[in-house]
Structure 1
């Protein structure tokens, strides 16, 4: 994995007052936009856009616009409301991150298919490079963006041909059920603070350039009092059956789930057969089993800026914080791509996971490829040790990058190693648990764990070895950094 910072895309922009009597040098916000590539893969890349207020007054909101060259498209985005028209992309702040205090910043992000980099960037209609309004390629004023004003009705109302969608405000469980059932591409469903009890199911797909957003403050809380009814042999939405999930995304790609809380459910957020789903800024806690699960080939998803804790309350050994893919023994139900659960390229970035996560903080299952686990904080207190759950991260997948994470362990709990690999045999055969890379991780094993990174087998990965770089550090280990040769 290589990293690059996009150059020439950050500059301060003075927000112009519409009141002519305000002196030219009056106090006000000044915004900069900086686009930073966070990951690169063979078919595309991911990037963060950092909007910073260098002025001396809070911003009221922000709009970032840029263009991508032909052949490169935005596949999903998070923490902003996006409108795309061909190669032109406009991002307006979400409901919760428009105000930026002086000296503060907000970040949104996107994934792109293709290698072309953004150009013509503007912030609030002014060029990111500074100076006067550009004549090319950026517009003199931003492309119209979705309105964030309340909808007059909680029922979804936009025309399917409306490229920007609308905002639908909900404040009750019944209104939320109706909004989810009628969601359209480009729409934002905005929850008010309060508890929403019930089984919440998403089955409407967003568009490639118009994802659907479900958002709310941290005090908007989804609670599932189930499960109930008779379950089918494999979990699919079934009449008169409540699986007990806090939020279930089923065959509904391209959603953004931002800001709210899911608690007191059998499972927290379950994403099935739904690629390009972004989970951003959620608080998931007090679940009987796992917190967030990307399952049934839910590829190209992301969990970021979220907190997952107190999982596995009923079944500690099945209380993973984040679960990517499915065990080979469950592919009969969840192996929907050539008999395999290909939840590939899932990114877990910038989260706090733990304490009291009953199983692994991140469990990467066999048959999944090329994910990223970066810049997370793992608190190992309360890990159960049941069902072989005795590490922060267990990697059975292939080609994962694990970097920049901070892990710690202290009692209570059962802890063996910080990171582990395993090599389960599956059919069709994959080099499971191979070609993974660790760099710049910091581990404190609390005087209990043996290795920061324990690689189970080197003989099974001869053609695709696991790599542990010297930039990883460990303290309070009973054995050391790793059991394999360290790579500079």
Structure 2
């Protein structure tokens, strides 16, 4: 996947147009809004592209309401869009603000995005009804791809998380990791080749420190840290790992293999005791994958624009933590595999990943204070059967864009045993397919467990957007006799079709 950037801006002095032009909607004057519309093509591939439009107010008064319109050439259509109401007449498209992003305060901005099927760029763009520069749009631009490895961050997807995790102006969680300065030897890297070498040679207690930039390649490690001397991979958010794979012939079960590129953004295989902090993983088949890698902490990372799952604790990667991180825009190519955070493996995959008595025992994983969504096509968190005693606490789930494929219609599908799910905030708004906020399921496995049982919900806040039935739906009580799921009265729900839960509340 190649990444490009095209920017246009309309100002009071005139129009600077590289492509996708937009218009200054109102003249500069005292105590008045002054809007600039900027459109960035954040990704392009052979049959389409993704673009993001941003309306910025450089005036000294708030603007209320915006509408961006344009035409697309024959053969190109808008396949999907987000953060705006889209209408279409033939090849003419109209994007209008939603209720929560229509006000553009002085010095602030609002944005929306879209995916195009076809390569034709918008023409005849208008902002709030006025033509761009008083005439037709400029012809399609000449776009140069970013370099494979650059010393500066990729301009397309590494600058800041977008869109906002909720309808509040302040994003959550914290944009940076909370780790301490390195105490052991430090290896500084600035190119993809240097990173590959450092991952292959890492030793206990070492810190690999990424310089800002885009690193394109296959990044994996089998190096082992220790409880007293973990290995750390750290970098700023503008250090972006991208894997353009996969390539080669895969083995029957995923394992680092010569001549095969998994397509994973970062892969730890039999590599316990690592700390991954601060950097970004984007534009890869899967984001971060941990196989047989217990005691790994992921802190303050940003995972986005991923073809399948965002972060996967797999093959008994127990006692891990993911915290203070953002996972969004997953399942872009395979929506049915687009979970944000995936704990364990389905029983049908234990033949490959069941390395603990035939089971994937990715137990006791903690998912803390993350923002997961929007446009996570699968569940925000999928807790798989055969895993035990994890903690899901303090997260924000934005359900916009959940696909409904492969039963992905809730923030969390709890098929594991003994999880504590507390103090999370979940919201849902269209587009998407949404049945309930949290669900349990009870798959039968060999060896057998009381899957989907013994889980506890406490202090969660749910807004079901007038679409979801229950905040917490317990599919079965009869299958959990002796280890029932518990829903405390401290959970709350708004905009539910049916109610808080379908079982009796516990004080």
Alignment TM-score > 0.5, same fold: yes
SS of residue paired to 1:407: strand
Q: Which of residues 483, 492, 499 is equivalent to 1:464?
A: 483
Q: Partner of 1:321 in structure 2?
A: 340
Partner SS, residue 305 of structure 2 = strand
Residue 282 of structure 1: aligned partner? 301
Superposed CA offset, 1:104-153 (max 9, x none): 9x9858xxxxxxxxxxxxxxxxxxxxxxxxxxxxxxxxxxx98x5xxxxx
1:429 aligns with 2:448: yes
SS at match of 2:194: helix
Are 1:219 and 2:238 counterparts? yes
**C-alpha distance in 1 between matches for 2:308 and 2:484:** 32
**In structure 2, C-alpha distance between the alignment counterparts of 1:313 and 1:180, rounded to whole Å:** 28
Contact 2:178–2:300 (Cα < 8 Å) also in 1: no
**Once the 2 structures are TM-superposed, how far is the Cα of residue 474 of structure 1 from its aligned partner?**
0.1
- Residue 221 of structure 2, aligned match among 202, 213, 224: 202
Could you list the runs of 5+ residues in structure 2 that have no partner in the other structure? Answer: 1-173
Q: Which runs of 4+ in 1 moved over 4 A?
A: 106-109
Match of 1:473 in 2: 492
The 5 A counterparts of 1:232-381 are: 232-381=251-400
Paired with 2:370 and 2:291, the residues of 1 have a C-alpha distance of 21
Aligned pairs (5 A) from 1:60-79? none
For 1:455, the equivalent position in structure 2 comes to 474
Q: CA-to-partner distance for each residue in 1:279-336, whole Å, 9 max, x for gaps?
A: 0000000011000000000000010000000000001111000000000000000000
* Alpha-carbon offset, residue 260 of structure 1: 0.2
Deviations 1:85-105 (A, max 9, x none): xxxxxxxxxxxxxxxxxxx9x
Q: Distance in 1 between matches of 2:239 and 2:306?
A: 17
- 2:283 aligns to what SS in structure 1? strand
After TM superposition, the structure 1 = structure 2 runs for residues 93-242 of structure 1, keeping only pairs within 5 Å, are 108=178, 165-242=184-261
**Residue pair 1:168, 1:179 contacting (<8 A) in 2 also:** yes
User: 1:361 touches 1:378 (CA, 8 Å); kept in 2?
Assistant: yes
Shift, 1:165, TM fit = 2.9
| Paired residues of 2:323 and 2:367 also in contact (CA < 8 A) | yes
Scaled by the length of structure 1, the TM-score of the pair is 0.67
SS at match of 1:332: helix
Aligned counterpart, 1:397: 416
Q: Distance between the aligned counterparts of 2:227 and 2:367, measured in 1?
A: 21
Cα shift at 1:462: 1.2
- Conservation of the 8 A alpha-carbon contact between 1:199 and 1:224: yes
- Could you report, residue by residue, the CA deviation over 1:224-271 in whole angstroms, capped at 9, with x for unpaired residues? 010000001100011100010000000000000000000000000000
Aligned partner of residue 275 in structure 1, secondary structure: coil
Inter-partner Cα distance in structure 2 for 1:207 and 1:345: 19
Distance 1:167 1:291 in 2: 28
Given candidates 418, 426, 437, the residue that maps to 1:418 is 437
Write the distance in 2 (CA, Å) between the matches of 1:412 and 1:389: 14
CA contact (8 A) 2:178 2:299 kept: no
RMSD over aligned Cα atoms: 1.6
Q: Distance in 1 between matches of 2:259 and 2:245?
A: 11
Any conservation in 2 of the 1:295–1:341 contact (CA below 8 Å)?
yes
Instruction: Determine if contact 2:177/2:300 at 8 Å carries over to the other structure.
Output: no
Q: Distance in 2 between matches of 1:190 and 1:467?
A: 44
CA distance in 2, matches of 1:226, 1:380: 28
Residue 157 of structure 1 corresponds to which residue in structure 2? none
Q: Which whole-Å deviations, capped at 9, do the CAs of 1:44-67 have from their partners, x for residues lacking one?
A: xxxxxxxxxxxxxxxxxxxxxxxx
Residues in 2 aligned to 1:202 and 1:279: alpha-carbon distance in whole angstroms = 15
Aligned residues of 1:399 and 1:434 also touching (Cα < 8 A): yes
> Alignment length, in residue pairs?
334
